[in-house]
Amino acid sequence: MTNSAVFLDRDGTLNEDTGYIGDPEIVKLFPDVGETLFRLKKKLDLLFIVISNQSGIARGLITKQQVESVNQKINTLLEVFNVEIDAFYYCPYHPDYNTLVESKCRKPSPEMVLKAAKDFKIELSKSYFIGDSISDIECGLNASVKTILVKTGKGRESLSILHNENKMPNFIAENFYEAGNFIINDLYGENK
């Protein structure tokens, strides 16, 4: 049996992006994230997989332990909504500090999505990528999943660049709640 998933960028999509977040105490989810993830889980039983670039590790600004503490804090905050992120995949490398081979996991490469798809038996044709940056949308396109750009985080500035490069997402959402509605309607066949 295969699963459907929502691949999620972390900073700027699920939580406020304050830049290289290492302190779990400053993590703030966007207001509609917990409720929306709960609705998606309850209605559609989707897997939630975070896919994020964490080059702050390569840059020496944060540690792997700090990234994992922040990830854990996100799930702690989501407990209130009876939902959790099923897995966190992150690329700690950057080509300015590491080899190109090491850095090939970085979005827009689909490598982390493809690894998660293998690990969790995910059917990519029935899955989605929600993100706020160009690399999120390109990663989703490269992995052949439907893409949703949220206008939180870097979303607004990313939109004009994606438009100019003719790499438009399947849907543009004002916020995470709208992104969730698109997925529900799409899987129920109401986005025609």
d(CA 178, CA 181): 5
Catalytic residue among 11, 45, 119, 186: 11
Catalytic residue among 9, 17, 86, 186: 9
Place of tokens 């209605």: 43
Per the annotation, the verdict on 11 as an active-site residue is: yes
Q: Is 45 a catalytic site residue?
A: no
| C-beta pairs of 68-77 under 8 Å, 24+ apart in sequence | 69/22, 69/24, 70/21, 70/22, 70/23, 70/24, 70/27, 71/10, 72/24, 73/24, 73/25, 73/27, 74/10, 74/14, 74/15, 74/27, 74/29, 74/50, 77/27, 77/29, 77/34
Q: Give the residue numbers annotated as catalytic, written as ranges.
A: 9, 11
